[in-house]
Amino acid sequence: MNALIPAFDFTQVIVDPWTGNLAASAWVVLMGALVGTACGIVGNYLLLRRMALVGDAISHSILPGLVIVFLIFRHVSTPLMFLGAIGAGLITVGIIEFIHRQTRVKADAATCIAFTSLFALGVVMLSVAETSGPIHLDAECVLYGEIAFVPLEPPVMFGGHELGPPSVIRMAGVTLVLIVLVTVFYKELLLTSFDPALARSMGLKTGFWHYALMAALSIVVVSSFEAVGAILAVAMLIVPAMFASQLTFHLPTRFVLTAAHAVVSSLAGFHLAIWLGCSTAAAMVVVGAILFLAAWGLTSIKRKPRLFEGTDQNSAVFDPVQGLVPKTNPE
Amino acid sequence: MGFPRSQKTWSLLTVFGWLSFAPLAQAARISDITEADLLDRTLRFFSFSDPSLRYALVGSMLLGIACGLMGTFLVVRKLALMSDALSHAVLPGVAIGFLWSMTKNPLAIFIGATVAGLLGAATAQAITSTTKHKEDAALGFVLAGFFAVGVCLLTMIQNLPGGNKSGLDKFMFGQAAAMGREDVLLLSGVVLVCAAAIGIFYKEFLVTSFDPAFARSSGLKVQIFHYALILMLAFAIVASLQAVGVVLVAAMLVIPASAAFLLTDRLPAMLALAAVFGMLSGALGAFFSFVGRNLPTGPVMVLTASAVFTLALFLAPRHGILAKWWRHRTRTRRVQRENTLKAIYRVLEDEGFRSESVSLRELAEHRRETLEHSEAAIKTLEHHGFATREGADFTLTPAGWKRACEIVRNHRLWELYLNHAANIPADHVHDEAEEIEHILGEENVRQLEKRLNYARRDPHGKLIPGLEDIHGAGARFLSGHAVGFGPPRQ
| Chain B closest-CA separation from residue A330 CA (Å) | 34
Cβ–Cβ below 8 Å for A112 and B22: no
Q: Which residues of chain A have pLDDT under 50?
A: 1, 134-141, 307-313, 331
Cross-chain residue pair B160–A143, CB shorter than 8 Å: no
Give the type of residue at B114.
T
A68 part of contact set with chain B, CB < 8 Å: no
β-sheet with B393-396: strand ranges across: B357-359, B393-396, B387-390
Chain Cα centroid distance, residue B324: 12
pLDDT score at B164: 56
Chain A interface, best mutation among B82, B102, B247, by max A CB count within 10 A: B247
> Could you tell me if B166 lies within 8 Å of chain A, comparing CB atoms?
no
The answer on pLDDT for B120 being more than 90 is yes
Q: Which residue in chain A has the smallest CA separation from B83? A: A112
Q: Is B5 on the interface with A (CB under 8 A)?
A: yes
Nearest to B98 by CA among B154, B136, B51: B154
Test A103 with B131 for CB contact under 8 angstroms. no
Min Cα separation A101/chain B (Å): 10
CA nearest to A295, candidates B196, B144, B130: B130
Return the residue of A nearest to B319 by Cα. Answer: A103
Asked if the C-beta of B299 comes within 8 angstroms of chain A's C-beta atoms, the answer is yes
Nearest to B11 among A77, A132, A145 (CB): A77
pLDDT on residue B8: 42
Is residue B323 less than 8 Å (CB to CB) from chain A?
Answer: no
pLDDT of residue B89: 92
Alpha carbon distances (Å) from B323 to A221, B15, B274, B285, B327: 38, 42, 21, 29, 6
The backbone region for B33, taken as left when phi is positive above 0, alpha when psi lies in -120 to 50, beta otherwise, is beta
CB atoms within 10 A of CB B364: 18
Task: List the single best residue of A92, A113, A299 to mutate versus B (max B Cβ within 10 A).
Answer: A113
A300/B321 touch (CB, cutoff 8 Å), yes or no:
no
Least confident of A8-22, B69-83, B256-270, B345-359: A8-22
Among B396, B373, B371, residue whose Cα is nearest residue B385: B396
Selected for mutation to probe chain A from B152, B265, B277, B294 (highest A CB count within 10 Å) is B152
pLDDT value for A142: 52
Residues of chain B contacting residue A133, judged by C-beta atoms under 8 Å apart: 1-3
Q: In terms of CA atoms, which chain A residue is nearest residue B95?
A: A4
User: Looking at the complex, does the CB of residue A39 fall below 8 Å from at least one CB of chain B?
Assistant: no
Q: Are A266 and A284 in contact (CB under 8 A)?
A: yes
Tell me which residue in A50, A112, A232 faces B84 most closely, judged by beta carbons: A112
Give the whole-angstrom CA distance, residue B376 versus residue B362: 15
Q: Which of B161, B32, B168, B21 is nearest to A60 (CA)?
A: B21
Touching check for A42 and chain B: CB below 8 Å? no
* B159 interface with A at CB cutoff 8 Å: yes
Overall average pLDDT of the B352-367 stretch? 85
Range 113-172 of A in CB contact (< 8 A) with B: 113, 116-117, 119-124, 126-133, 135-146, 153-154, 166-167
Spatial distance between the Cα atoms of A165 and B70, rounded to a whole number of angstroms: 47
Residues of A in contact with B165 (CB under 8 A): none
Radius of gyration of chain A (CA): 23
Q: Is A231 on the interface with B (CB under 8 A)?
A: yes
> Quick one: which of A73, A227, A74 has its CA closest to B6?
A74
* pLDDT recorded at residue B262: 94
Task: Of A275-279, B18-22, B81-85, B268-272, give the lowest mean pLDDT range.
Answer: B18-22
DSSP per residue, B303-336: HHHHHHHHHHHHH-TTTSHHHHHHHHHHHHHHHH
Put simply, the answer to whether A278 touches B22 (Cβ < 8 Å) is no
Type of residue at B54: R
Q: Which of B241, B108, B258 is nearest to B175 (CA)?
A: B241
**Chain B residues within 8 A of A235 when measuring between CB atoms:** 144-145, 147-148
Spell out the residues 6+ positions from residue A119 whose beta carbon is closer than 8 angstroms to its own: A60, A61, A63, A64, B247, B248, B299
Among B residues 207-236, those touching chain A with beta carbons less than 8 Å apart = none
Find the range with the poorest average confidence among A44-53, B202-211, B479-488.
B479-488
- Of A105, A139, A141, which has the smallest distance from its Cβ to B262's Cβ? A105
CA–CA min distance A329, chain B (Å): 31
Instruction: Give the mean model confidence (pLDDT) for residues B393-402.
Output: 86
Overall average pLDDT of the B210-233 stretch: 88
Q: Tell whether the model's pLDDT for residue B104 goes beyond 80.
A: no
Interchain CB distance below 8 Å, A119 and B319: no
Q: Which residue type is seen at A5?
A: I
Using an 8 Å Cβ cutoff, are B187 and B176 in contact? no
Q: What integer is the mean pLDDT of B215-236?
A: 89
**Residue of A81, A123, A88 lying closest to A226 (CA atoms):** A81
Q: Nearest by CB to B3, which of A4, A135, A142?
A: A135
Q: Which amino acid is at A16?
A: D
CA-wise closest residue to B121 among B205, B231, B249? B231
Does any CB of chain B come closer than 8 Å to the CB of residue A111? yes
Phi, psi of A12 (to 5 degrees): -70, -40
Q: Which secondary structure element, helix H or strand E, spans residue B244, and what is its range? A: helix B222-263
Distance CA B77, CA A302 (A): 34
Report the residue from A51, A102, A239 with minimal CB separation from B141: A239
Is the Cβ pair A137, B75 closer than 8 Å? no
Average pLDDT over residues B94-113: 82
Q: Do B141 and A242 touch (CB under 8 A)?
A: yes
Across residues B441-452, what is the average pLDDT?
87
Q: What is the mean pLDDT of residues B225-237?
A: 90
Helix B360-367 / helix B371-383 crossing angle, nearest 10 deg = 110
SS3 labels along chain A = CCCCCCCCCHHHHHHHHHHCCHHHHHHHHHHHHHHHHHHHHHHHHHHHCCCHHHHHHHHHHHHHHHHHHHHHHCCCCHHHHHHHHHHHHHHHHHHHHHHHHHCCCCHHHHHHHHHHHHHHHHHHHHHHHHHCCCCCCCCCHHHHCCHHHHHHCCCEEECCEEEECHHHHHHHHHHHHHHHHHHHCHHHHHHHHHCHHHHHHCCCCHHHHHHHHHHHHHHHHHHHHHHHHHHHHHHHHHHHHHHHHHHCCCHHHHHHHHHHHHHHHHHHHHHHHHHHCCCHHHHHHHHHHHHHHHHHHHHHHCCCCCCCCCCCHHHEEEECCCEEEECCCCC
Which residues of B fall within a CB distance of 8 Å from A129?
1, 3, 22
Per the CB < 8 Å rule, is A232 touching B151? yes
DSSP per-residue letters across B211-224: -HHHHHHTT--HHH
Return the number of CB contacts < 8 Å for A and B.
290
pLDDT band at B74 (very low <50, low <70, confident <90, very high): very high
Q: Tell me the per-residue pLDDT of B248-266, one tens digit each, with 9 for 90 and over.
A: 899 999 999 999 999 999 9
Out of A260-274, B314-328, B450-464, B468-482, which region has the weakest mean confidence (pLDDT)?
Answer: B468-482
Contacts with A, B 48-87, CB within 8 Å: 74-75, 78-81, 83-84
A78 in contact with chain B, both atoms CB, cutoff 8 A: yes
Give pLDDT, residue B19.
Answer: 43
- Residue B33 has a pLDDT of 45
Q: pLDDT, tens digit, for every residue of B153-203?
A: 888 887 777 655 556 667 777 777 777 888 889 899 999 999 999 999 999
pLDDT band at B25 (very low <50, low <70, confident <90, very high): very low
Interface with A, mutate which of B29, B35, B79, B81 (most A CBs under 10 A): B81
Residues of A in contact with B84 (CB under 8 A): 53, 56, 112
- Give A93-121 pLDDT, tens digit per residue: 999 999 989 888 998 999 999 999 998 89
- Residues of chain B found within 8 Å of residue A226, distances taken between Cβ atoms: 13-14, 17
Angstrom distance (rounded) from CA B219 to CA A57: 39
At position B272, the amino acid (one-letter code) is A
Greatest mean pLDDT range, A190-204, B30-44, B468-482: A190-204
Instruction: Check if B23 contacts A (Cβ < 8 Å).
Output: yes
- The pLDDT of B453-469, averaged and rounded, is 80
The dihedrals phi and psi of B272, each to the nearest 5 degrees, come to -65, -45
Interface touch B81/A296, C-beta < 8 Å = no
**DSSP letters of B159-177?**
TSSSS--TTTTHHHH--GG
Mutate: best of B7, B10, B151, partner A, most A CBs <10 A:
B151
